[in-house]
Amino acid sequence: MSPAMLATSITIPDLITFIVAGAFVLGGAIGVVTSRNSVHAALSLVLTLFGVAVLFVAQHADFLAAVQVIVYAGAIVVLFLFVIMFLGVDRQEDIESEPLRGQRPLALVLIAIALGSLIALFVNANWVTGARSATGSTAGGGHTNVYLLGKSVFTTYLFAFEATAALLVIAVVGAVVLARRPSGGLLDEPDAEAESDEEPAPEAGSDAVSADDELEPDGDPATRQEVPR
């Protein structure tokens, strides 16, 4: 560890925060990986995401922490839960057996190698402390984190921003196409709904909501439709 990192000593509240958040993160992760029931897995994921959000706050990434909770925990996990419900919530997966030969041992070995190497890298790494970033610091200068982040997104990374906006539109269209019924029958209804809801929302926060809306007419488990193959 570089001496620069130990410039300020570790305070107790920070340490406790880190440990608790870390426990949430790892606990949730292990829960996801080892749950037999998919719903339990989803809820463990939520735990992990909250933990990560706390860690974001601890690192002064306030906006991102909020967005993490709203988008990830609030929309994506909800989406997951919807799909779990749609596809059979009571399906249990058989964790014990492994039909593919060598999959588990090989996976463990490889990931162990990767993890070990990564940790070794971090231990031996020298932090680059060269030129200051052109994009500006994370804090200071009297501006809030939101201000700084917004400024960088809307100026320096504007092109990427517009691209991701287009990406979201495509994702919405894709979701509609993927999930709809084959031609004939209730063709008009979902199209009309699709049209009305298909407004490109530039903000990341509302996207998950619109995606959810698209899924609703077809996501109803009561109406069993022909699966377009």
> Which residues inside 20-39 make contact with other proteins, applying CB under 8 A?
22, 25-26, 29-30, 32-33, 35, 38
- With CB under 8 A as the contact rule, the residue among 69, 74, 86, 193 that binds other proteins is 86
Residue 126 has, within 13 A of its CA and on its CB side, a CA count of 3
- Which is nearest to 225 in space by CA: 168, 191, 184? 184
Give the per-residue contact string, 148-177, with other proteins (x = CB under 8 A; - = no): xx--xx--xx--xx--x--xx-xxx-xx--
- With CB under 8 A as the contact rule, the residue among 90, 96, 132, 184 that binds other proteins is 132
- With CB under 8 A as the contact rule, the residue among 66, 69, 74, 84 that binds other proteins is 84
Minimum CB–partner distance for residue 105 and other proteins (Å): 11
Minimum CB–partner distance for residue 182 and other proteins (Å): 11
Q: Between vectors from CA 75 to CA 151 and to CA 95, what angle results, nearest 5°?
A: 125
- With CB under 8 A as the contact rule, the residue among 20, 118, 187, 192 that binds other proteins is 118
Q: H helices within 36-142, ranges in order?
A: 38-58, 62-67, 77-86, 103-124
**Does position 192 bind other proteins by CB under 8 A?**
no
The token duo for 182 is: 């084959």
- Which is nearest to 65 in space by CA: 155, 74, 14? 74
Number of H helices, E strands in the chain: 9, 0
Q: Which stretch binds other proteins (CB under 8 A): 47-55, 183-191, 192-200?
A: 47-55
